[in-house]
Structure 1
Amino acid sequence: MTAAFDILDLGLRPYREAWDVQKQHHERVVAGGKPALLLVEHPAVLTLGRKAREGENIIVTREYLAAQGIDVFEIERGGDVTYHGQGQLVAYAIFPVGRKIVDFLRLLEQATIQTLQTLGLPDARPNVGYAGVYVDGREVNGLLYDQKIASFGVAVKRHVALHGLALNVTTNLQHFELIVPCGLHQTQMTSVEREYELRGMNKTATMPEAKKAMIAAFEQVFAEYDWSIPEAVGLSRV
């Protein structure tokens, strides 16, 4: 049985280069080509979604970021500011969506949760009212912090999605201290690697294992997906 979408592993790519690849596949899918799931890691970079106000949730100067070799991009996805870096599995689902935006986001959540369950984190879950996937909260100095392990940000143009999700596997979590992730307070970023360590699990987080689990999850979750594109061409975003 032929897969409904292509899977392309882009390896480690600078953000701008991968952004261009996304746009190329988006144009192809809009024109009726086969959908694609792009898997990639980026060198350290910050991206500002449409809800971000310039610098509001970046807590260091642009000069400091430049000195650290961390670029900043303003992009068309939803959401606020987020960080990408090595050890983070980014999945760009260039899939037809039409007007089924909320359903599409729920499927992305489901695929991410299933990925994490396969990796041994059964408490992975959505957080009502917030985009992304979380694991059970953790108390720090008497305060309970949500533990966010995957972030979401999607744009839908001409009924086809761009961008997608970012799952922290072995990510350098200290880099999240440069920002207020997605503009959320009382939230800590975590990773598969960190959860293994804090839970005393005798496991090693690896990118190949995470990619394998995510591909299997996408194939299962999107097995019955409606891949058609509405005839009327419009513009919607989330």
Structure 2
Amino acid sequence: MKIIDLGLIGYKDAEALQLKALDAVSGGEQENTVFLLEHPNVITLGRLGGSENLHLDPEELQIRGIDMVQTTRGGNITCHFPGQLVAYPIWRVEKRPGGMRQFFHDMEQAVIDTCAHFGVETIRRPKHPGVWVNETRKICSMGIGVRRWVTYHGLALNVARDTSLFDAITLCGIQGAVPTSISAEAGRDIDMEDVKHVFKRAFAKAFANSAVAADQAAE
């Protein structure tokens, strides 16, 4: 597994890097890769839509300097901004034990463990992929795409206190859901670099544990 930190990067530029890596991973020329990054302000729509959950018209988005992008990931509407950690696993899932359900479970586990490191207890919600603090406060959104049995897109974990860009949308199209972040829940400002460091270890552990469990089950 290779983890690459892209820093702050535009959505389209990051998408181009994902697709290039997807071709390399699916062709066996590159190992599974995870991109870590932050995006400038952008609202993204899932492949099945989400525009009905946008609260601003295109002119207002332009005035505020907010891009809007139609994506090929699953899920509904969400947003990205500086202070939110985005992780894009370019990951081969062909014949992976547990299929996509286990893949999402492992991503969620990496986020749950990362939040726990900073004293934030989180939960899963059945039928709502991602990670929550309780039944209404969502700290991490998830949505992926798959091509040739390799994933792209991924997860977005709110780190900084300012999550005000979510005011422009109905969060993931879920009525009553409100955004929260590691810093807001911890009651102190958490450094993005510290979160990246912890997340790298948590992600590697979650996916390594799945591999070990699969090997043991095959014995």
- Does the pair score TM above 0.5? yes
1:47 to 2:44 alignment: yes
Tell me the equivalent position of 1:35: 32
- Whether the 8 Å contact between 2:142 and 2:155 is mirrored in structure 1 is yes
Tell me the equivalent position of 2:141: 151
Pick the aligned partner of 1:69 from 65, 68, 72.
65
AA of the residue aligned to 1:7: I
Q: Which TM-score applies when normalising by structure 1? A: 0.84
* Worse overlay, 167-176 or 154-163: 167-176
- Whether the 8 Å contact between 2:114 and 2:199 is mirrored in structure 1 is yes
Tell me the equivalent position of 2:54: 58
Pick the aligned partner of 1:7 from 3, 17, 21.
3
Tell me the CA shift for residue 51 of structure 1. 2.5
Note the 1:1-238 alignment, pairs <5 A.
5-32=1-28, 33-53=30-50, 55-98=51-94, 100-121=99-120, 123-137=121-135, 146-170=136-160, 172-197=162-187, 203-225=188-210
Give structure 2 stretches of 5+ with no counterpart.
212-219
Tell me the CA shift for residue 172 of structure 1. 2.6
What is the total number of aligned residue pairs between the two structures?
207
- Whether the 8 Å contact between 1:14 and 1:42 is mirrored in structure 2 is yes
Tell me the CA shift for residue 128 of structure 1. 1.3
Tell me the CA shift for residue 82 of structure 1. 0.3
- Whether the 8 Å contact between 2:161 and 2:184 is mirrored in structure 1 is no
- What RMSD over aligned residues (CA atoms) do the two structures have, in Å? 1.3
Greater strand proportion:
1
- Whether the 8 Å contact between 1:86 and 1:171 is mirrored in structure 2 is no
Tell me the equivalent position of 1:142: none
Tell me the CA shift for residue 223 of structure 1. 1.2
Tell me the CA shift for residue 136 of structure 1. 2.8
AA of the residue aligned to 2:157: L
- Whether the 8 Å contact between 2:106 and 2:210 is mirrored in structure 1 is no
Please give the secondary structure, in 1, of the residue aligned with 2:114: helix
Runs of 4+ in 1 over 2 A off after TM superposition: none
Q: Distance in 2 between matches of 1:130 and 1:222?
A: 21
Tell me the equivalent position of 2:217: none
Q: Distance in 2 between matches of 1:15 and 1:116?
A: 25
* Worse overlay, 183-192 or 98-107: 98-107
Q: Distance in 1 between matches of 2:90 and 2:37?
A: 13
Greater helix proportion:
2
Tell me the equivalent position of 1:141: none
Tell me the CA shift for residue 204 of structure 1. 2.8
Tell me the CA shift for residue 165 of structure 1. 0.3
- Whether the 8 Å contact between 1:85 and 1:171 is mirrored in structure 2 is no
Please give the secondary structure, in 1, of the residue aligned with 2:92: coil
